[in-house]
Amino acid sequence: MMSGKILIFSAPSGSGKTTIVRHLLNAFPNLEFSISACTRGKRDFEINGKDYYFLTVDEFRQKISEDEFLEWEEVYENNFYGSLKSELSRIWNKGNTVVFDIDVKGGLNIKRKYGDQALSIFVRPPSIDALESRLRYRHTENEETLKKRLDKANFEMSFSKDFDIELINDNLEQALKEAEEIVKNFLKH
């Protein structure tokens, strides 16, 4: 397999990670998204095979047993998420850089494995309150899943210092500019 570079984006849910990653994928044609497998329900606007490979828990377990994952986590109770080894080869074989949108634990694991080949970026919301209002505004959660995500957010924030870069997403436009600079620098060498 050809080998290449990796960009890892991690953050508490609602930080704006997906918004930033989408922007970067549009701005840099050599970046390509690693499509994860997951077992949560599809959101209306999501596309199977583009945003995620949506699997049943049985299908997910099958892939675990066949050693198809680079890493996987039960990110939320009964909701499994995993990065597929096949995504790395698919993207690297085209000479592109792999972009991961992945939880904090998974992000740190991939960084540990790939060292300088990878750049890990923690997207930080200005506050937990801001995170909550963004999640509410997104209209994708109910009170229960919202609470799960906010509980986990506090825990995840404590790992931000373990990442190569902390990107604060307060003003979106500014965060997008900073993200572009970060990527430009990383792709340079």
Binding site for ligand 5GP (CB under 6 A): 13, 36, 40, 71, 73, 75, 81-83, 101-103, 106
- Report the interhelical angle of 143-157 vs 128-138 (nearest 10°): 150
Using CB under 6 A as the criterion, which residues of the chain lie in contact with ligand ADP when the complex forms? Answer: 11, 13-19, 134, 137-138, 169, 172, 175
Helix or strand holding residue 155 (H, E): helix 143-157
User: Rounded CA gap, 147 and 13, in Å?
Assistant: 11
Closer of 58 and 188 to ligand 5GP (Cβ): 58
> 136 or 184, CB closer to ligand 5GP?
136
**Whole-number Å distance between alpha carbons of 118 and 146:** 31
Instruction: Give 18 or 86: the residue with its C-beta nearer to ligand ADP.
Output: 18
Least separation in angstroms between residue 100's CB and ligand 5GP is: 7
Among residues 160, 159, 133, 165, the alpha carbon closest in space to that of 146 is found at: 133
- Whose Cβ is closer to ligand 5GP: residue 146's or residue 189's? 146
Angle among Cα 78, 22, 188 to the nearest 5 degrees reads 115
125 binds, among ligand ADP, ligand 5GP, none (CB under 5 to 8 A by kind): none
**Nearest residue to ligand 5GP on Cβ basis:** 106
